[in-house]
Amino acid sequence: MKTLPKVISDPEICHGKPTIQGTRIMVWQILEYLESGLKAEAIYGDFPTLPKGSIESALHHAILKIFRECRSNYWETFSPLRRQLHPN
């Protein structure tokens, strides 16, 4: 299993926005490049200090954030209803 660069949030770097560790490149910048249709080679070309595997790290970070938000919204919505329908 290959080790990917870490995504960090440090208040001293880019105002705490998630960045690729060891860089000042923010996850949203990588995602914006991907959304515009650029290929990995072009992204790494525009960010020569971006370690290989950073695109995968940014995508993984974004997917986990969305998953956690969806899961949280689900439980906030349905947990009270479930307790009403199925009390202990």
* Cβ(52)–Cβ(43) below 8 Å: no
Give residue-wise pLDDT tens across range 33-88: 999 999 999 999 999 999 999 999 999 999 999 988 887 777 667 666 666 666 66
User: Model pTM?
Assistant: 0.78
> H helices of the chain, where?
27-35, 40-46, 54-85
The reported pLDDT for the residue numbered 37 is 97
Domain assignment present for 2: no
Domain assignment present for 16: yes
Of 18, 49, 17, 44, nearest in space to 33 by CA: 44
The domain containing residue 76 runs over which residues? 7-85
d(CA 83, CA 52) in angstroms, rounded, equals 47
When divided into structural domains, the chain yields a total of 1
The CATH number that applies at residue 31 is 1.10.10.10
Domain assignment present for 48: yes
d(CA 82, CA 41) in angstroms, rounded, equals 48
